[in-house]
Structure formats: structure tokens, C-alpha cells
Amino acid sequence: MNQAQGNIRWHPAAITAAERERSKGQRGAALWFTGLSGAGKSTIAAIVDHRLHAAGRHSYILDGDNLRFGLCKDLGFSPEDRAENIRRIGEVARLFVDAGLIVLCAAISPYRRDREQARALVGAGRFIEIFVDTELAECERRDPKGLYRRARAGEITGFSGIDAPYERPEAPELRLVGGPSSGPDALAEQVLAHLLAQHILTGT
């Protein structure tokens, strides 16, 4: 415990998480989209977010790239910085879930231990690991940001799937098989069906 922690205390909210959920007709949950760069995480999350909003639900996207412009802009891509990046995203996701929102986190999050730390922060039954399982060759074919080309050329290092590891989830709550035959709209429908089956979307 550092000195500052010894001088602070947790202030409980006057409104409980259950009360917030009832007012929204949903359960707070973190949908954690993991997969290689270019797998389709952000695209699928955006479609799910749009459909939830259209249905009058309360959701928000925490995109890994976007957060590196602010909350995580001081971090690089070493294993230690990646771990801290995921810890910060997990802490923010925990707050969103406590507020009764469905938060969609789209981040490569290549290490199992970091994803499990995020799960522990959010809490059992509230963390839904969604593995967007798109083959490396397909991700390279897409290469929406030109990063694979640069990684192959040695212009950038520490790139997941090329010269840095990506540890596949062993037992995700949901596995989405990406590729040329699986469009993002169909994969988003699988996510929404899972939310209904798990009673994340209530009041319907």
C-alpha cells in the first residue's frame, strides 16, 4: 500500500448497481472482444453498439486504439505496458458495468493473464470474453492500417502474431469465426443472441 492509499476510503454510491440496472432494463456487462489486429473486433463491436442503441439500450465502446490517444497515451507496446493498458481498460469497464451499462471493449489484449485480470476486475458473470477468431493470413490480407506490411518489413516491432505472441483464449464465452465467409453483421447477431440467452438484455 502506498502512502496515498492509506489516506483514502471507498465511498459507497447512494444508488445501487441493481437499481441502475432495473432503470435501464438490462444487466451491466463487459463484452471483451479479443483477437489479432484486423480480425474485426472494432467493426463487430460498432455494429453491436449501434443495434443496442437502436433498441433503446445503454451501451458504450472502449476501443483500444482510441484509448491510446488519452487514457493510455503514455504507454508503449512492451509486455509490461500492454499489461498496464489492459488493466486500465478493465478498471474503466468495471465502472461502466457498475453503472448498469453494456460496455464493448475492443482490444487485442494478447496475453491470457491480462485478460483474466480484466475478468477479475469486472466480476464473475459480468465479463464476456469474445474471441474474434480470424486467421492470421486473412488479417494480413485485410491489413486495414498497413501494420502487417510494416511489421513484416521490420519497421515496427512487438507486433502480435508476427514477432510477439498472441495467446488464444482457451475457453471464451463466445467464439466468432471471422473470415471471407463470415460477414461482421452475422457475427454481431451472434453476440446479440448471446446477450439474450444470458439475460443481459432484460425487460423484453
> Per CATH, is 16-197 categorized as 3.40.50.300?
yes
- Does residue 122 surpass a pLDDT of 90? yes
In Å, what is the CA distance from 154 to each residue of 76, 148, 150, 159, 197?
A: 17, 10, 6, 10, 45
How far is 50 from 199, CA to CA, in rounded Å?
A: 19
Which amino acid type is present at position 201?
L
| Interval 179-201 mean pLDDT | 94
How far is 49 from 55, CA to CA, in rounded Å?
A: 10
Residue 145 buriedness (CB in 10 A; 0-12 / 13-18 / 19+): exposed
Residue 94 CB neighbour total at 10 angstroms: 20
**Whole-prediction pTM value?**
0.93
pLDDT at 181: 84
CB contact set of 11 (below 8 Å; sequence gap of 6+): none
pLDDT at 10: 79
Structural contact between residues 126 and 97, judged by C-beta atoms closer than 8 angstroms: yes
- The cell numbers describing 189, all together, are 447477431
Give the residue with greater pLDDT, 16 vs 126: 126
Least confident of 6-10, 98-102, 195-199: 6-10
- 50 falls in which pLDDT band (50, 70, 90)? very high
Residue 36 CB neighbour total at 10 angstroms: 25
Q: Which residues are catalytically annotated?
A: 109
- Does residue 204 surpass a pLDDT of 70? no
How far is 204 from 199, CA to CA, in rounded Å?
A: 10
- 9 falls in which pLDDT band (50, 70, 90)? confident
Residue 20 CB neighbour total at 10 angstroms: 17
Domain boundaries, the chain: 16-197
- The cell numbers describing 152, all together, are 513484416
